[in-house]
Amino acid sequence: MPPTPAALEVRDLRRAYGGRVAADGIDLTAAAGQVTALLGPNGAGKTTTVECCVGLRRPDSGSIRVLGLDRADPAAAGELRESVGVMLQDGGLPMAPRAGDVLAHVTRMYDHPLDPRELLERLDLTGSARTPVRRLSGGQRQRLALACAVVGRPRLVFLDEPSAGLDPRSRRETWSLVRELRADGVAIVLTTHLMDDAEQLADEVVVVDAGKVVASGAPGDLAGHAVVDAYAPANRPTADWARDLAGELASAGRRDLADATTAHDDAARVLLSPGTRGPDARDVAAVASAADLVARRVSGVAGATDVERAGLEPTHANPAGHARVEIVAGRRTLEDAFLELTGRSLRTDQDRPGSADEAAPTGSSARRRRRSR
């Protein structure tokens, strides 16, 4: 029996707008019954990739297979329209009709849809069903767009920022709905600026930057490391502090830790072995001892290291006025991994216009977008 094809297979996708490259050889696979999170700063190529996958843009080159069908084949359009759900961040919703009427209209496009009344209730939209879409809040429009994307029981669904603008209760309900879709065997491609969404929902994470895939894997594998952060004393440049700590660790015979020490925000970060579930107490003690020695040398007085947050006892007393270093041991987060891979924070790059990925569309596409705003 031949293996079941992936719900989505993207190979060597390339798309440019004039001289600006938005997708530069992107490969992406999404499996049935899994959530694949597409992460990247603004302009990374996420939006272009998704728009090519759902047929809103044509790639310059590369191949896209959706549910085993060639996305470029016009004969596949009808089947894909029936089997693929799409939620775009800007919604693409008509503004004049009432919310309930919009969902009812979409429902009639499918042979075996979900009950739209139950979906409105599930997403806390029953009370807004008679409200024109233009008068809905941003969060309500997001929930309506989500309802429209899933009401047709899709086999593959693209969700662009499904939790954006939602209150905590609505966000949890959205998570619950996504998990139910996954349990039903639906393939879900999720783009998000919210790391919590990816960490809570994703089976696979694909990190895109400058139009290329820079990393992919399970969230735990991408984060994957336990870390020890030694925070620099006041007025000590972080780069100098990290260099001195690495030198002290090497002198103490811990070249493995020295080679894994880098400046990270206002701390020297020591990245422990991949796959470790938590920091080893011996590694934490080695970092604490080295940091203590560096702090004493820098200050010229007997310093001390505060390792209480690591669950260890301080190695020295801390007389008033002496240098003090804080040691924090834990696990690297997915956001840490993202920052190291791209050099940018996902949270501070939200939807700024003018990037290559968000290049202004031309022709009828541009006119359609202007009318929908």
* pLDDT in the model for residue 224: 65
- List all residues 6 or more positions away from 272 whose beta carbon is below 8 Å from its beta carbon: 225, 226, 227, 228, 260, 279, 280, 283
Q: What is the DSSP string of 247-265?
A: HHHHHTT-HHHHHTEEEET
The pLDDT-based confidence of 324 (bands split at 50, 70, 90) is low
Give the C-alpha separation, 339 to 332, whole Å: 11
pLDDT over 50 at 223, yes or no: yes
* Average pLDDT, integer, range 57-75: 95
> Which pTM value belongs to this model?
0.70
Which H or E element spans position 367? Answer: helix 363-372
Q: Per-residue pLDDT tens for 262-280?
A: 888 888 988 876 545 567 7
Greatest mean pLDDT among 223-227, 281-285, 295-299, 321-325: 281-285
* pLDDT in the model for residue 215: 87
Percent helix / strand / coil, the chain, rounded to 5: 40, 25, 35
Q: Per-residue pLDDT tens for 159-187?
A: 988 888 788 888 999 999 999 999 999 99
Q: Per-residue pLDDT tens for 5-54?
A: 699 999 999 999 988 999 999 999 999 999 999 988 888 899 899 999 99
* pLDDT in the model for residue 278: 63
Strand pairing class (324-331; 304-306): parallel
* pLDDT in the model for residue 30: 97
Q: Which residue has the tokens 């499904």?
A: 162
Q: Per-residue pLDDT tens for 114-155?
A: 999 999 999 999 999 999 999 999 889 999 999 999 999 999
Phi, psi of 161 (to 5 degrees): 55, 55
* Average pLDDT, integer, range 359-370: 38
Residues in the chain: 373
Q: Which residue has the tokens 């050889």?
A: 25
The region that residue 311 occupies, defined by phi over 0 for left and psi between -120 and 50 for alpha, beta otherwise, is: left
pLDDT over 80 at 64, yes or no: yes
DSSP three-state, residue 338: helix
- List all residues 6 or more positions away from 365 whose beta carbon is below 8 Å from its beta carbon: 56, 57
Which H or E element spans position 125? Answer: none
pLDDT over 90 at 372, yes or no: no
> Would you give the distance in Å from CA 296 to the centre of its chain?
41
The class that CATH gives domain 8-222+346-372 is: alpha beta
Task: List Cα–Cα distances, 320 to 6, 217, 233, in angstroms.
Answer: 63, 48, 14
Structure tokens, 346: 């996902």
- The separation between the first and the last C-alpha atoms of the chain, rounded to the nearest angstrom, is 49
Q: Which residue has the tokens 């596409």?
A: 365
pLDDT over 60 at 319, yes or no: no
